[in-house]
Every structure is written in C-alpha cells, then in structure tokens.
Amino acid sequence: MTSDDDATLGSGAGEPKSDGDEDLRDALVALANLSTGHLGLEELLTKVATYAVRAIPGADGAGLTLLEHGRSATIVSTAPFVTEIDDIQYGLGQGPCISAAAEGQTKLSGSLGADQRWPQFGSKVARLGVHSVVSLPLITPGAVVGAMNVYAHAKHVFDNRAVELGELFAAPAAIAVENAQVLVQAQRLAAQLQAALGTRGVVDRAIGIMMSRTGATPDEALNKLRSLSQTEHVKLPVMAQRIVDAAVRRARALHKEEE
C-alpha cells in the first residue's frame, strides 16, 4: 500500500465503520455485476465512482477521471460539489487526482487547506468546505487508465484503513474501467470504418455515373470529381453525393415521363 499521509491524522472521524469490510464486499459485488456492454461510458464510470463512495467509510462523494494517451478524457462525479472541486483541480493543473495518476500512487490528505503538495488547489477547496481526500490511481498491467478521488467535507476523515479499502476496490475498478474504455474504442473504430466504407461507396458510384455520361476512364472521372469538389469548396464525398443525388432525380423524372 502506498500513501502520502498527513503529518497528523485525526482519530474520531477517521475511524472506519465496523461494517467497512461488508460495505467493501457490497461495492465489489456491485462492481462485478456491471455490464460494460449495456451502459454508456459516462454512466458506467459514474457507477464505479458511486460504488467507491460505498466502499470507503466516511466518503461524501467521489469523482473518476479516465485517461486516454496520458490526458484526462472523461471526468464524472457522484455529486455537484465533486464536479466543482475537480473543475478547480484540472483548471489549476494540480491536485491529488493529477498526482495519483502521474505517479501511480495513492494520495491521502485530511487537511487540504494546509497541504503544501497542492497549495492553490487546497486553499480553494478548503474554502468550499471540503478537507479530506483519498485519490487512487486505477492501475492495470498495461498502464494507469485513470484515477479516482474520494472526498469528505470534514477534516481527517480518512485513515490508513480507508486507504487500504480504497486500494482493494481500485484494483478491480481499474479492470472495469479499462474494459469499458476498450469497448468504446472498438465501437468508435467500427463507426469510423463504416463511415469510410460509406464514403468510398458514394465516391465509386459518382465515378461510375461520370464514366457512363462522358466515356471517361476511372482515373479521368476521379480527377474531374476532385476538380469539381475544389471548385465548389466542398469535400470529395459531399461532391460525390451531389452527383449521385442528381442522377437519381433525373432517373425518376424520366420514369415519370415514360408513364
């Protein structure tokens, strides 16, 4: 377990609930039952963050950041105050979630306003009445796929036991997040390929129409199509679609005349 503890952690509020292990088990069961194929990415990430609040005693809210190519790509939260805090964090470019993701280590603070690791961030969020945080990197065998902030309003709410519970939750959470990310990327690629196939199809149809009209070769028809797209200041597929649509309209008009 890795953590950056405060110089002093309060007792009282930081003591884990007696049913902490049971809460963790419930959260892990809920996490295991998540279906990446039936939820949108943001909805799934929000559920993961919600289960983290359930798993860590004393938590008032949580936020989760998904990383793509080392940058934050999707940020979700379980409560409006978490969104406000994470907006401050990413606006400043400093904070426990950023540090946890960059270093691959859990960050713990019970008095953010006095924490010198993130002085600008800490002072701003303390004025909003949020003082405690556990930030957990979401680590898979391949990379850090994201990070999760678990917040509490009071000071010194989280102790080393909260860190331990959080890290036990973060390990399978990272796998769930990675699976969701892989699925979304696959869906995105499939959509791009489908769009590319559709684009190629309409260009080929336009070339065929131009060849039948003028007797041009495929290369000559393609060059003419490119010239038209440049003259009209539109993309090649758009110009091709115009030619196809015009040919369809002419064919329908002829058909009506023959009736």
Return the bridge partners of 138, or none: 146
Distance CA 130, CA 79 (A): 13
Average pLDDT for residues 122-126, to the nearest whole number? Answer: 94
The answer to whether 239 and 228 have CB atoms below 8 angstroms apart is: yes
The answer to whether 166 and 189 have CB atoms below 8 angstroms apart is: no
More confident residue, 250 or 171: 171
| Phi, psi values for residue 191, rounded to 5° | -65, -40
Q: Which of 9-13, 145-149, 245-249 has the lowest mean pLDDT?
A: 9-13
Distance CA 178, CA 44 (A): 11
List pLDDT tens digits, range 202-219: 888 888 888 888 888 888
Average pLDDT, the chain: 82
The answer to whether 3 and 132 have CB atoms below 8 angstroms apart is: no
For 80, 195, 206, 209, the CA distances from 199, given in Å and listed in that order, are 42, 6, 11, 16
- Per-residue DSSP letters for 73-130? EEEEESSHHHHHHHHHHHHHT-SHHHHHHHHTS-EEES-GGG-TTSHHHHHHHHHTT-
Domains in the chain: ranges and CATH: 12-187 (3.30.450.40), 188-258 (1.10.10.10)
Check whether 80 has a pLDDT greater than 60.
Answer: yes
Check whether 10 has a pLDDT greater than 50.
Answer: no
Provide the 8-state DSSP code for 8.
Answer: S
Closest to 240 measured CA to CA, from 256, 221, 214: 221
List pLDDT tens digits, range 176-210: 888 877 766 666 666 666 665 557 778 888 888 88
Q: What's the pLDDT score for residue 155?
A: 96
In which residue are the tokens 């064919």 written? 251
Average pLDDT for residues 63-74, to the nearest whole number? Answer: 80
Distance CA 53, CA 201 (A): 50
Q: How many percent of the chain have pLDDT more than 90?
A: 40
